[in-house]
Structure 1
Amino acid sequence: MILENLTKKEILVLAIGFTGQFLFFMRFFIQWIYSERRKKSMIPTAFWYLSIAGSLVLLIYAILRRDIVFIAGQAFGILIYLRNLYFISKEKTHHT
């Protein structure tokens, strides 16, 4: 088996990577359920929070793997997700 030859550190790094991928997947799952309930395509605020959480965990994984392409991609994505949350909070303050 592949896992039997891994060190504890390598297993921890893999666990971090899979956790990030799971969080990233959950954002699409939540968006799908949210849209199904409303019978139209919509993006809930939770999508952006899961995007940030997943990206942060995957960024840690990418740093541990020393993968500059993956690091750049995740770091840039986090900025976009934060910007979307900013727009959402700005919209809510204008409607209250």
Structure 2
Amino acid sequence: MLVAFSHGLTDYLYDVFVARFDFWLAFGILAQLLFTARFLVQWIASERAGRSVIPMAFWMFSMAGGLMTLVYGLVRREPVIIMGQLLSVVIYVRNVMLILRERRRAA
């Protein structure tokens, strides 16, 4: 039974990550890596400050990863990804606009 499960899992992983590999899969993986990088940036910044902070780089990675993931969803015609990223990207852009406005006021 374990051998059959292992073989089935191997076939599945091969199909998903090797047989179907193309430009758009690579694009989607890069988008997800950028999106994940934002959490690393936020974690490092918070550890350094000793409190929870959200640096500008978090929002930049959010926008880049979110936009790329949205494009990936549109190209692949994945409604769950499209719906999940569409509003998120608007929120990321708005946060950057608010931060930039605050910085201009402070300067």
Same fold at TM > 0.5: yes
- Residue 54 of structure 2 corresponds to 43
Cα drift, residue 4 of structure 1: 4.6
Question: Structure 1: which 5+ runs fail to align?
Answer: none
Q: How many residues align?
A: 93
Q: Can you give the 5+ residue segments of structure 2 that lack an aligned partner in the other structure?
A: 1-13
- Using the TM superposition, give the Cα deviation of residue 69 of structure 1 relative to its aligned residue in structure 2, in angstroms: 2.4
- Higher radius of gyration, 1 or 2: 2
Q: Which runs of 4+ in 1 moved over 6 A?
A: none
TM-score by length of 1: 0.88
Q: Identity of paired residues, percent?
A: 41
Which residue in 2 is equivalent to 1:5? 19
Structure having greater relative contact order (Cα 8 Å, sep ≥ 6)? 1
Per-residue CA deviations over 1:2-60 (Å, capped at 9, x if unaligned) read 34533xxx521211111111000000000000111111100000000000000111011
Aligned residues: CA RMSD: 1.3
TM-score by length of 2: 0.80
